[in-house]
Amino acid sequence: MKAIDEEGNVKELSIPAEQDTVWIKLQQTTGATIPAGQEIAISPNPARESVTLYTGDLQVEMIEGVNTLGQVLYSQVASGGRSTRLDISAWQEGIYTLRIKSDRGVIEKRLLVK
């Protein structure tokens, strides 16, 4: 059996072949972090008039609406809260990319406008 310590070193562990159960005790484990893109939710999607971007604990700086040609058609400074409402009533039907610029980098999410 192999294990990896906190410095990333691989440790080889020997276990008797006749054992069918191995108990592992974890000590001082590190917390798992949620990837930034998974913290963001768009509702409703598909949408017509407006959408709300739920951003959790991300510090969002800017939100851009990008069409399929890569053109930025919409730009809004984030509200600073855990959610931001976007007025999309003037957008044409189609698929857009919401480009969210945050303290953890740029995250892109798809939005369908009907």
What are the residue ranges spanned by the domains of the chain? 37-113
Contact 42, 63 (CB under 8 A): no
What integer pLDDT is reported at residue 25 of this predicted model?
67
Cβ atoms of 42 and 53 closer than 8 Å: yes
Of the pLDDT bands very low, low, confident and very high (cuts 50, 70, 90), residue 110 is very high
The per-residue pLDDT for range 28-56, each reduced to its tens digit, is 655 545 555 567 899 999 999 999 999 88
Could you tell me the fold of the domain covering 37-113? Immunoglobulin-like (2.60.40)
Q: Which of 104, 97, 9 lies closest to 59, judged by CA?
A: 104
Q: Check: CB of residue 41 under 8 Å from CB of residue 54.
A: yes
**In terms of residues, how long is the chain?**
114
Give the tens place of pLDDT for each residue, 53-70: 998 888 899 999 999 999
pTM exceeding 0.75: no
Residue type, 81: G
